[in-house]
Amino acid sequence: MMAAARPVIGVTTQTLEEIPDQLPRCWIMSQRYVRTLTESGAVPWIVPLIDDQETLRAIYDRLDGIFLPGGVDIDPKSYQEDPTNGCGRVDPDRDRTEIMLVNWAMKDRKPILAVCRGAQLLSVAAGGTLYQDLGSEYPGAIKHDYFPKAGVHARQDLVHPVEVVADTRLSRLLGTNSILVNSMHHQGIKRLAPNLIANAFSPDGLIEGVESVDDDFVLGVQWHPEDLADSEPMMRRLFDAFIEAASGWRRGLRPKRAAAIT
């Protein structure tokens, strides 16, 4: 009975190109995301990047929430720009699939949790743009690209502070307005989509978190809370709250939107 009540969370994947004589083209994703979601009570559903809208919609309709993981750069064509030299490897199949899922979920008010690339994708899907490379495009940028490297950086390293905007969903979940985070990205949100608000900033003013302007559970953070959930209770709360919202969706509960002012 308990298993039937657990919400089903879609976890998108990333393309692994063919390795000749070893592997055909594959869809992959880190086990860490799946395990963290499972520990908070989810039933993870790995979502393929299939170019078949009918099948993708059938998968989406069975989900109670969408989780957008980190990964490669977002193709600038997704926000109507040409790639610069600073843009790295992209995955157009992933962009297409995630943008479609986000648009459906936002329309249906289905819960979304997004990390790192996922937070950027939320804004892009709703009409925002990105800095393709912070180091070359964002004046005064601090170091954000602490990519893991043996003996130098680990995924759990807390490398810079983040100021969380008071009276936001994020501040209420974290229970504080100042935190230290890990950081593994070189792109960032440039123009924020109009249906999102910024809920956190790094010392250089870069947006570090976003959420819905409504009461819907749409939340994205630029850091990687899945790597901190076992050691930092406040990071675990992001996943617990997401699963609670997805459970509510499963039971037919929806947040009330304020009436429009005329």
Q: How far is it, in rounded angstroms, from Cα 67 to Cα 98?
A: 10
38 assigned to some structural domain: yes
Residue 131 backbone phi and psi in degrees, to 5 = -80, 125
pLDDT in the model for residue 257: 56
Going by the DSSP 8-state scheme, the letter that residue 6 receives in this structure is S
Which pLDDT tens digit goes with each residue over 66-122?
A: 999 999 999 999 999 999 999 999 999 999 999 999 999 999 999 999 999 999 999
pLDDT in the model for residue 72: 97
255 assigned to some structural domain: no
Counting the structural domains of the chain, the total is 1
**Residue 4: pLDDT band by 50, 70, 90 thresholds?**
low
**Residue 150: pLDDT band by 50, 70, 90 thresholds?**
confident
Domain range holding 228?
A: 2-250
195 assigned to some structural domain: yes
262 assigned to some structural domain: no
128 assigned to some structural domain: yes
Q: Confirm if 80 and 43 have CB atoms less than 8 A apart.
A: no
CATH of the domain at 161: 3.40.50.880
pLDDT in the model for residue 258: 46
* Encoded tokens for 184: 């593994």
260 assigned to some structural domain: no
**Bridge partners of residue 152, in order along the sequence:** none
259 assigned to some structural domain: no
258 assigned to some structural domain: no
- 3-class state of residue 171 by DSSP: helix
pLDDT in the model for residue 260: 39
The set of catalytic residues is: 116, 224, 226
